[in-house]
């Protein structure tokens, strides 16, 4: 009798447990479905830059050559810049660990060999970086992205260990939502923020493309297609109408250094106030303490040019053109403010004459080694840094000396 009651009690408990778990999983499934639906809905608002090409052809044609457009892409033999030929296809970490890059059919892999035996093989799925300085590579593991251990370093045309790795083989570094927020146009998290690893919708829109700065464009495309005689653009953001702060905030989302998030990634949209999403340090810090990697905003904001004028990034940069290396063109933009008529031209003008107008840049915005884009080349003990253009516009004695030595010595 006692036995029977006990077992009935157990049956009830077990049934109760089963009910609870199935309710719980239904609940989870329901939540997951919902968040996937939300994600899909957001993705459907984007039309992709090729759709803009139909009506804004010249902007599209020049924009595809910018570092923004090329900043992330699906990985294949045409987008991965590193070499796969024997002799150039490996990185030796130490006596026992070597990584080879290998091609197998259409796919590319990084393969770890320990004492000559294959231990791990992961595909190149996504390329991050236009290749101006280098490229890093990501692979999918279910819905999580990880960074591959080898990065390509353009300056020396070599495979090297990925920045931030302390000279050992790591396949398990998860990629954060912030990484995708800065390097893609559309990406979305599909896991709860407290999950062990962040998970992402695979349906990424690559590159920093039109809709990152102009907002999702499907409504604009539909409207303008249905109203071909309409001469004004509707349902699209034009940053030309932004306040100075809105304009700077858009660029500083990605060019403002390491900002601490106060809201989940992907919520800031063009035109928003950055301080509602990130903790913003009050600018005008000592320029020397601001890292030159990725914080053009912080460095510029510390400069007198910025503080004593209404300049934005667009004063010098055209967001639709690749103007890299055109120092004379950039110098012309300095000269719109600094010239003899305004009585604020360079003091060296009288000494150097007209030649000065071709390159204000190397003296007043010299290149400096980045403290965060550093890689360890094979066999090296000290890391190598990529050079970045300082946006702290100032008077640099050493840069001036170098420039004069290079350009005025017979």
**Residues within window 240-269 making contact with ligand HEC, judged by CB under 6 A:** 240, 250-251, 253-255
Given the complex with ligand HEC, which of 136 and 158 has the nearer CB atom? 136
Q: How far is CA 134 from the centre of its chain?
A: 12
127 binds ligand HEC (CB under 6 A): no
Given the complex with ligand HEC, which of 37 and 132 has the nearer CB atom? 132
Q: Which DSSP symbol is given to 104?
A: E
Contacting ligand HEC within 350-369 (CB under 6 A): 356-357, 359-361, 363-365
Q: What gap in Å lies between CA 237 and CA 186, rounded to an integer? A: 16
The Cα-based distances of 14 to 6, 9, 25, 362 in angstroms read: 12, 9, 16, 76
* Binding-residue total with ligand HEC (CB under 6 A): 102
Coil, helix or strand for 235?
coil
Query: Shortest approach of ligand HEC to residue 168 CB, angstroms?
Result: 18
129 binds ligand HEC (CB under 6 A): yes
Query: Shortest approach of ligand HEC to residue 15 CB, angstroms?
Result: 48
395 binds ligand HEC (CB under 6 A): yes
161 binds ligand HEC (CB under 6 A): no
Contacting ligand HEC within 62-91 (CB under 6 A): 63, 67-68, 71
In 221-338, which ranges are E strands?
A: 260-261, 278-279
Under 8 Å between Cβ of 101 and 108: yes
Contacting ligand HEC within 264-293 (CB under 6 A): 293
Which tokens is 75 given? 């990985």
Q: What are phi and psi of 185, to 5 degrees?
A: -95, -45
Which tokens is 288 given? 């020397």
Query: Shortest approach of ligand HEC to residue 229 CB, angstroms?
Result: 9
205 binds ligand HEC (CB under 6 A): no
Comparing C-alpha atoms, which of 263, 269, 306, 272 is closest to residue 287? 306
Query: Shortest approach of ligand HEC to residue 158 CB, angstroms?
Result: 14
Given the complex with ligand HEC, which of 66 and 93 has the nearer CB atom? 66
Contacting ligand HEC within 180-199 (CB under 6 A): 182-183
Under 8 Å between Cβ of 229 and 237: no
Q: How far is CA 380 from the centre of its chain?
A: 27
Q: Of residues 3, 41, 142, 347, which one binds ligand HEC by CB under 6 A? A: 347
Q: Of residues 82, 134, 271, 366, which one binds ligand HEC by CB under 6 A? A: 134
Comparing C-alpha atoms, which of 266, 272, 278, 276 is closest to residue 250? 272
Stretch that binds ligand HEC, among 6-14, 101-109, 206-214, 282-290 (CB under 6 A): 206-214
Comparing C-alpha atoms, which of 217, 188, 185, 192 is closest to residue 200? 188
Q: Of residues 236, 261, 377, 384, which one binds ligand HEC by CB under 6 A? A: 236
Question: Strands 367-375 and 90-92: what pairing?
Answer: unpaired
Query: Shortest approach of ligand HEC to residue 285 CB, angstroms?
Result: 15
Given the complex with ligand HEC, which of 95 and 240 has the nearer CB atom? 240
């Amino acid at each position: 009798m006692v036995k029977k009651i006990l077992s009935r009690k157990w049956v009830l408990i077990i049934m109760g447990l089963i009910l609870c778990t199935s309710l719980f999983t239904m609940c989870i499934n329901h939540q997951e479905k919902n968040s996937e639906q939300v994600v899909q809905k957001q993705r459907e608002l984007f039309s992709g830059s090729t759709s803009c090409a139909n009506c804004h052809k010249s902007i599209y044609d020049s924009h595809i050559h910018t570092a923004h457009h090329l900043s992330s892409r699906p990985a294949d033999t045409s987008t991965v810049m590193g070499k796969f030929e024997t002799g150039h296809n490996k990185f030796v970490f130490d006596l026992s660990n070597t990584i080879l890059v290998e091609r197998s059919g259409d796919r590319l892999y990084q393969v770890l060999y320990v004492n000559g035996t294959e231990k791990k093989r992961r595909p190149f799925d996504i390329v991050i970086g236009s290749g101006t300085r280098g490229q890093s590579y990501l692979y999918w593991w279910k819905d999580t992205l990880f960074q591959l251990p080898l990065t390509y370093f353009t300056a020396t045309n070599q495979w090297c260990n990925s920045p931030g790795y302390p000279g050992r083989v790591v396949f398990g570094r998860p990629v954060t939502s912030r990484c995708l927020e800065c390097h893609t146009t559309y990406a979305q998290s599909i896991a709860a923020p407290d999950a062990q690893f962040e998970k992402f919708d695979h349906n990424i829109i690559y590159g920093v493309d039109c809709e990152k700065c102009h907002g999702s464009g499907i409504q604009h495309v539909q409207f303008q297609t249905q109203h071909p005689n309409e001469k004004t653009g509707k349902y699209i953001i034009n940053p030309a109408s932004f306040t100075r702060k809105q304009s700077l905030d858009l660029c500083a989302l990605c060019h403002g250094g390491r900002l601490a998030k106060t809201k989940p990634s992907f919520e800031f949209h063009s035109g928003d106030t950055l301080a509602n999403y990130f903790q913003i340090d009050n600018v005008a810090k000592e320029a020397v303490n601001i890292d030159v990697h990725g914080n053009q905003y912080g460095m510029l904001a510390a400069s007198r040019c910025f503080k004593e004028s209404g300049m934005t990034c667009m004063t010098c940069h055209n967001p639709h053109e690749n103007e890299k290396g055109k120092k004379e063109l950039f110098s012309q933009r300095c000269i719109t403010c600094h010239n003899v008529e305004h009585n604020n031209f360079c003091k060296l003008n009288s000494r150097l004459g007209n030649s000065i107008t071709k390159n204000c840049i190397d003296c007043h915005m010299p290149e400096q080694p980045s403290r965060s884009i550093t890689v360890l080349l094979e066999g090296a003990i000290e890391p190598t840094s990529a050079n970045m253009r300082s946006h702290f516009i100032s008077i640099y004695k050493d840069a001036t000396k170098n420039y004069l030595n290079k350009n005025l010595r017979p």
